[in-house]
């Protein structure tokens, strides 16, 4: 059976990456349909929203990709806000990374790109910081965005305003290719349980931690993360604190997002666990003891899409006509701007400058095929 022709580019996944790609394609005049099984499970709704290529200690090509995306984010956010009429909650708050010793600080991969702080400097930037932290790095160039409450909603509205179509509650079951190996459609199950085939010549895989279920060649696996939020006094914490294993991200209204566990053996096990919540509480007590008295507001979990080298999968996929925008692990919010831009350019066949082309080629899915 040949799927019916459908001129729209299909975006498989309605999370942050799917919405970001759909938005950029629609801005370029492309017809787009986003197919999403359950948008609430998307990593974009559960991440803390740090924009932190330097504070995260990234290195090599991933650092370069993160820096290139960070540079694009103000313009990207301005586009979303103009198309949606909503704020995305972008803040250049700066991020402090505390250390117990100067040796640990100096050995940090991005130490040369931050401002070294002694204990006095740490206390100035983070009043009430736990006593075990003697030194640190301030990365003023890093920031945050309120992905959970603002960015995702703004992207949804921006997509709708540009004519993007949505199939919510639909699960893509198979990709269909022709005798020449060219993508020609998808097989899905609708929200009503009906099996359908949609024709397409191009699709973008933005299925996050579930990407391998649809394309087995892709080495993407879930890393579960548990998080919580606290309501602190407004302005009680002005900088993000990025500690080992725990981070505290202050929003403008005093809400503090606390994350995140990193559970590689949990697979797709849903729900909170006592051990995970204890780990977060221990991190809060270590970094900012006074925050242990602030009331908890919400607790949640999600699944990061990870690859063996923790870098994303970008560019053409193993089927002609399939583009990849998945596997971003901890850096999905940071990398959404450049991923959406480069993917939209690739789908439309637009010319890229050699430097950017070289950067994206370093994250091809075939890097694992060649080393396996």
Q: Is 189 exposed, middle or buried, given 0-12, 13-18 or 19+ CB atoms closer than 10 A?
A: middle
Q: Which residues contact 123 (CB under 8 A, 6 or more apart)?
A: 129
Do you know the residue count of the chain? Answer: 372
pLDDT at 186: 96
pLDDT at 199: 93
363 neighbors 311 (Cβ within 8 angstroms): yes
**Alpha carbon distance 127, 133 (integer Å):** 12
Task: Output the DSSP codes for 191-225.
Answer: TTS-EEEEE-S-EEE--GGGHHHH-TTS--EEEEE
Q: Are strands 247-250 and 240-242 parallel, antiparallel or unpaired?
A: antiparallel
pLDDT at 3: 40
pLDDT at 42: 65
Long-range interactions of 264-272: CB distance < 8 A, separation 24+: 264/221, 264/223, 264/306, 266/222, 266/223, 266/224, 267/222, 267/224, 268/209, 268/222, 268/224, 268/303, 269/224, 270/301, 271/301, 272/226, 272/299, 272/300, 272/301
pLDDT at 238: 94
pLDDT at 263: 94
Q: Tens digits of per-residue pLDDT, 104-120? A: 999 999 999 999 999 99
Query: Which segments of the chain have a pLDDT < 70?
Result: 1-7, 39-45, 370-372
The pTM of the full predicted model, rounded to 2 decimals, is 0.94
Domains of the chain are: 9-85+148-220+309-371 (3.50.50.60), 95-139 (no CATH), 228-300 (3.30.9.10)
């Amino acid at each position: 059976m040949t799927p019916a022709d459908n001129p729209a580019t299909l975006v498989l996944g309605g999370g942050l990456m799917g919405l970001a790609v759909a938005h950029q394609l629609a801005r370029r005049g492309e017809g787009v349909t986003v197919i999403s099984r359950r948008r609430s499970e998307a990593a974009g709704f559960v991440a803390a929203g740090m924009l932190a290529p330097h504070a995260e200690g990234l290195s090599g090509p991933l650092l370069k990709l993160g820096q290139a995306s960070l540079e694009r984010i103000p313009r990207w956010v301005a586009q979303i806000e103009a198309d949606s009429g909503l704020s995305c909650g972008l803040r250049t708050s700066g991020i402090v990374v505390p250390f117990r010793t100067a040796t640990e600080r100096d050995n940090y991969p991005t130490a040369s790109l931050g401002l070294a702080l002694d204990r006095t400097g740490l206390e100035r930037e983070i009043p009430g910081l736990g006593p075990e932290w003697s030194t640190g790095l301030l990365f003023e160039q890093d920031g945050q965005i309120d992905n959970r409450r603002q960015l995702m909603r703004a992207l949804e509205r921006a997509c709708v305003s540009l004519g993007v179509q949505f199939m919510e509650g639909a699960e893509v079951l198979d990709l269909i290719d022709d005798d020449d190996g060219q993508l020609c459609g998808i097989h899905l199950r609708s929200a009503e349980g009906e099996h359908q085939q949609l024709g397409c010549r191009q699709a973008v895989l933005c299925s996050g931690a579930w990407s391998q279920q649809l394309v087995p060649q892709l080495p993407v696996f879930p890393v579960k993360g548990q998080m919580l939020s606290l309501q602190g006094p407004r302005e009680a914490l002005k900088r993000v604190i990025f500690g080992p294993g725990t981070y505290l991200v202050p929003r403008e209204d005093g809400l503090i997002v606390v994350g995140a566990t990193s559970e590689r053996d949990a697979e797709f096990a849903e729900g909170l666990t006592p051990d995970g919540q204890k780990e977060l509480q221990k991190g809060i007590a270590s970094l900012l003891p006074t925050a242990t008295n602030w009331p908890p507001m919400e607790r949640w979990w999600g699944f990061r899409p990870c690859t063996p080298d923790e870098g994303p999968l970008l560019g053409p996929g193993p089927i002609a006509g399939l583009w990849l925008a998945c596997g971003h692990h901890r850096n999905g919010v940071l990398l959404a701007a450049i991923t959406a831009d480069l993917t939209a350019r690739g789908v439309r066949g637009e010319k890229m400058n050699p430097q950017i082309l070289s950067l994206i080629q370093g994250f091809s899915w075939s890097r694992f095929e060649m080393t396996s």
